Structures are given as C-alpha cells and as structure tokens.
Structure 1
Amino acid sequence: MSFEVIIVGGSFAGQSAALQLARARRRVLLVDKKEPRNRFARSSHGFLGQDGEAPAAIMAKATRQLSAYPTVVQVEGEAVTARREDHTFRVRLADGREELGARLILAVGVRDTLPAVDGLEERWGVSVLHCPYCHGYELGGGPIGVLASGPNAVHQATLVPDWGPTTLFTQGVFEPDAEQEALLTERGAAIERTPIVELLGTAPALQAVRLADGRTVELAGLFVAPKTALSSDLGAQLGCAFEDGPTGPFIRVDGRQRTSVPGVLAAGDAASAMTNATLAAASGAMAGFGAHQSLIFGEPAQRPSSAAA
C-alpha cells in the first residue's frame, strides 16, 4: 500500500503530525518502536491541559484518538532504512516489510547518554532531571544540584535557583570564569569543585550526594545535561543536513520543519536544540501542515542549507 505521508516516530511530535494529516483526510502511516525518550518520567508538566499526566497515558490517549481516523495506519515497529526513488520514499521496517510514501516526516527523537556517576542512571527521569521547566516545581523548593558537563552548566545553574537553593558541581570538567562566577553568586548559586562520586537514598528518590572527599550534600534533585544522539540514522541515510546543539547534533529544518532534502520533514527532539513536550507537539503540527501543503503546492525552490554540521 502506498501512503501520502510516512511518519517515523510516534511520541508527541509524530502523533501531532499524524493528527493534522488525518484531519486533512490524507493516507498516513505512523511507525513507532515504542521507546520514547520520556518513558522514564512519571509525569509530564507544563503541557497545557495535560499537566501532571504520565507521558505514556498522554500517548495512549493520542493513539486512541488517531485510531478514529480511517486514513491513518499505526504500526509498532522500527524503520531501519529509507531511500528516495523518483518522487517516492521507500521505507523498510525491521520485520522486512517495505512501505512507500510521497512525503516522509522524521520524528525519531533522541537517546541520552548520562554522566558516569554511581546511582545516577536509576534515578533518571524522577530525581535526576534535565529540564527545570518540566520538573523543577515538583522538587518542592528543596536543595538542587547541577552537574556540570561543560560551559553550558552555568546557564542551567543560573536558571535553577528559581526552583530551590542551587549548587553547581563542576566535577573537574569545567571552571567558571570570573564573570560567570559573579553571575552565579548574584543568583545565589554555590559552586562546589569537589566531584560527586555517588548518589544516596532509596532510588529513584534522591536524598544526598557523596563527594570525593567523603562529605555529603543533601539534595532533592540533580539536573544534568546528558549527551544526545538521534535514535535513528534515517536522516543521515537520506542526506539531511545537521546542526550541532549544546548536547548533540539535530536535523536542520526551516520554519515549516522542512529538511534540506525535498520531501523530508523533521520534528520534535530530533530537529531542535530545545527539547520540551509542548515544543515537540507544536513542531509536529507544523510538520503535518508542511507535508500536507507540499502535497498540494509542491516543494519550494529554497531549502535549508545542505551543509552538514
């Protein structure tokens, strides 16, 4: 069966894109391997109308709503290859099946590589976090740590004091300069240069961290900036341009979520340096609009720069 749009990835961005196209009565295939980045989080916050809901519950509701549209086919599986053949994209799934689509939306998301600190991984998404806007309020104003992985830690440590007393742990990988230190002091953030070696408490909760010199520091939560990589290499296979973000590369898109490859759009965490449920859903909607309109009006002559990062 040939589809008008194939969407790879079924979290906030992919389902949002599918919804717009479904309502335009377009034939859509949504392929999702059911491993969303947010699967470790108990709740999603700051998402209008869904504040406090579990991400899995939000996605299950979206899946049910999409199933009411007869032009949408939802498949659990992994898209492993994609290539362009004339004006059509051929996508092969891990089970060997191949599907054809006139347009392709990559909402593949990213995967995280966490700092190697004892006790950190089992707390990821609950008391070890990456977004204060998503999870800072739930720390209840308690003491907060920011684990440095580079200069961007200053930006995070400058934001976080609005959610609780903050300590920047430099971990020996970064030393703030005089201007940065003055900014942190102005915001009331302390600087601790002795590295964290262990997280303490009954996981996934966090009670304190142990430092290399044996001291313990009480914390309600610890913010980190994990390294990110796209969860799929389909964008690279197709020749999409990439940009370097603060935590890792992402697919370059224009204001309509169009990549450097005609007919290919991208949305969500895979196509943005800023990752957030609301932003992912919004970019997915825009990708849906863009794909629909390109089916009607054709592809524009101007594309985002094709120079890869």
Structure 2
Amino acid sequence: MTTQKMSTEFDVIVVGGSYAGLSAATQLARARRRVLVIDAGQRRNRYAQHSHGFLGQDGREAAAIAAEGRAQLLKYPTVQWLEGAAAQATRLARGFRITLTDGRGFDAQALVLATGVVDELPALPGLAERWGMSVFHCPYCHGYELMEGRIGVMAVGPLSMHHALMLPDWGQVTLFLNETFEPDVEQLASMARRGVTIERTAVRRIAGHATVELADGRAIDMAGLFVVSRTHSGSPLAEQLGCEMEEGPTGLFVRTDATKATSVAGVFACGDSARAAGNVAMAVADGAMAGVAAHRLTIFGAQAA
C-alpha cells in the first residue's frame, strides 16, 4: 500500500477491488490517472479455492490471482487503496462524491462501479455450506474438475433447464425437480436426448461432499451439484445515481453500452453487477474496457468517452 497521505480528490474512483475493479484501475494507473480503489473485501468467488478458465491462470488459487493483481496495481504511484464500504454516491456540479459508511467522502470526475453481486441460494439444508466447494453455478468454471462423474442439478424452476441441458457435456446429469416445477413434453424430450435423469422426489437436505438425501430415505452421491442462484447488486450506488437497470435471468444488473458506460454520464459499470452472467475472464475484460473508457472521459468529456 502506498504511504502517501490519503487525498480526497481523484480523477476516477473505482468501487470494488475484485477482478473487474482491479482490471479497470490498472488501465487508469497506466494512464497516470489519480485513482482511488474502495474495496469492501467481498469477492464473489471467495468460497472457491481455485479459479478456472482464465487464460494463463487456469487452476490457480482464486485469492492468489486477486492478491497479485492488487500488488501489481499498487506499484503505480497514482493509485490509492482504501478498505471500506461505500454507502452513498452523489452527483456534484462536476463529477461525483462517494461517501463511506464511516462518513468520509471522496470526489472524482468519473466513477467505475465494480461492486459485484450477492448470491441468494434456495433454502435447502446443507446447500449454502457447500457453495463454491461442491455446489456451483458455472459449468465452465467447475464442470471439468468433476471428471465426467455424476452431476446433480438442484432445480429452482424452469430456469434450471439451462443447467440440465448444458451439463451432460461434463458428466452424468440428474435433475432434482424438488417440487419446483414439472417439465413439459418438449422439455422432457430435450433432456431425454441429452441423457438427463429426472428425479421427482423432494430433496430433504445435502450431506457429505455432495450427497442428495431424498424425502423417501434414499441418498444419492454426486461428484458435484449445480444450482441457479438469485443475484442482486452488492451495492446500492448504481441505483442511487439513477443508472438504468436491466432484468436478467437471475436478477437485475446495471445496463451498460459497449464501452461499459451506464445511462449516467461519467459512470461506468463492469463485472458481474453489469452483465447477466459472468466469470473471472469476463470480469477482467469488462474492467479493462471500463478503465479505458473512463480514461477517455477524463480527456474528452462525457460525449467522447
């Protein structure tokens, strides 16, 4: 961490210090912009030990990727890092103010919101405790490591059909309906073509590594389980500023254009809070685009960002 005195005025404030925020801040730092990164320390994948599918980092510890990104970023002298939670975003006559929960305020010409999302899991005993370890949401991130074993999909409704039809490429799939919905004739035919087994008995709990205990007393061992989580933004800042939101399959996310600009001039959003689905590689790409666009805004103004 830099030893310089903490300023209260910056060119750009990046809210969120995970993969998207680190990527955005790095682009800005390399453009010699004065950048403040405010981070509450809540990476979405903090429960997962390893990260997969990110070029050059496949299989590395997720925490190590983030830690190295932060260490590299803080070598740039124009960057300051602040551990804390941003509570309020306010538009100023020129720029924005971010106020922390402790009352401190910081101003900038532009904002990059990389605040991530919070996952809300079904209230099924044993599910949340295994999140990121043997219960997952992204086949591309975790499917290969299940070694073509038995994979369970815990249904939350018709949206779980997406998992059920994708995951046979990674293993032998059982869809546990758990009384959430009944597939129609066409859906049943699609799953039959993909070799998906349907289990209609209610699920009582998840035990062991990924054992599905059913209401009739049966216990079915799985290599891993997949479930669709509901998501909501990890911060209220985008809505406070009036950014337009969009309804995705799992919840609201911030609407952005191709440069990651939101509907509010001078505010950019990247990472999981600004796309319907994502992973580390996509978050890093989004962050790079947001950082470049925010830099252009500091030069040319909102119309050319």
Which of the five TM-score ranges fits, normalised by the shorter chain?
over 0.9
Q: Once the two structures are superposed, what CA deviation does each residue of 1:63-87 show, in whole Å capped at 9, x if it has no partner?
A: 1101110011111111100100112
The answer (yes or no) to whether the contact 2:88–2:237 under 8 Å persists in 1 is: yes
CA–CA distance in 1 between the matches of 2:130 and 2:114?
26
Q: Once the two structures are superposed, what CA deviation does each residue of 1:247-289 show, in whole Å capped at 9, x if it has no partner?
A: 1100000000000111100000000001211001100000001
> What residue identity is the alignment partner of 1:11?
S
The answer on 1:265 being equivalent to 2:268 is yes
> What residue identity is the alignment partner of 1:73?
Q
Partner of 2:230: 227
Q: Given the two structures, how large is their TM-score scaled by the length of structure 1?
A: 0.94
Partner of 1:299: 302
What SS is found at the alignment partner of 2:45?
helix
Q: Once the two structures are superposed, what CA deviation does each residue of 1:203-238 show, in whole Å capped at 9, x if it has no partner?
A: xx32x2111111121211110011111111001100
> What residue identity is the alignment partner of 2:32?
R
State the 1:301 CA deviation: 8.4
Partner of 1:66: 73
What SS is found at the alignment partner of 1:58?
helix
The answer on 1:29 being equivalent to 2:36 is yes
Partner of 1:115: 122
Aligned pairs for 1:1-309 (under 5 A) are: 1-201=8-208, 205-206=209-210, 208-300=211-303
State the 1:175 CA deviation: 1.4
| CA distance 1:301–1:19, change in 2 (3 Å) | closer
State the 1:300 CA deviation: 2.5
> What residue identity is the alignment partner of 2:290?
A
Runs of 4+ with >6 A deviation: none
> What residue identity is the alignment partner of 2:25?
A
CA–CA distance in 2 between the matches of 1:171 and 1:265?
40
CA–CA distance in 2 between the matches of 1:200 and 1:122?
10
State the 1:298 CA deviation: 1.5
The answer (yes or no) to whether the contact 2:297–2:304 under 8 Å persists in 1 is: no
Partner of 2:5: none
Q: Once the two structures are superposed, what CA deviation does each residue of 1:167-211 show, in whole Å capped at 9, x if it has no partner?
A: 11111111111111111110111111112111121xxx32x2111
Q: Once the two structures are superposed, what CA deviation does each residue of 1:18-48 show, in whole Å capped at 9, x if it has no partner?
A: 0000001111000001111111001000011
CA–CA distance in 2 between the matches of 1:58 and 1:155?
29
CA–CA distance in 1 between the matches of 2:250 and 2:241?
23
CA–CA distance in 2 between the matches of 1:182 and 1:53?
39
CA–CA distance in 1 between the matches of 2:243 and 2:72?
31
CA–CA distance in 1 between the matches of 2:29 and 2:276?
28
**Unpaired stretches in structure 1, ≥5 consecutive residues:** 303-309
CA–CA distance in 2 between the matches of 1:194 and 1:235?
42
Partner of 1:306: none
Number of residue pairs matched by the alignment: 298
CA RMSD of aligned residues (A): 1.2
Q: Given the two structures, how large is their TM-score scaled by the length of structure 2?
A: 0.96
What SS is found at the alignment partner of 2:303?
coil
**Unpaired stretches in structure 2, ≥5 consecutive residues:** 1-7
What SS is found at the alignment partner of 1:40?
coil
CA–CA distance in 1 between the matches of 2:202 and 2:282?
34
What SS is found at the alignment partner of 1:60?
helix
CA–CA distance in 2 between the matches of 1:55 and 1:74?
20
> What residue identity is the alignment partner of 2:228?
A
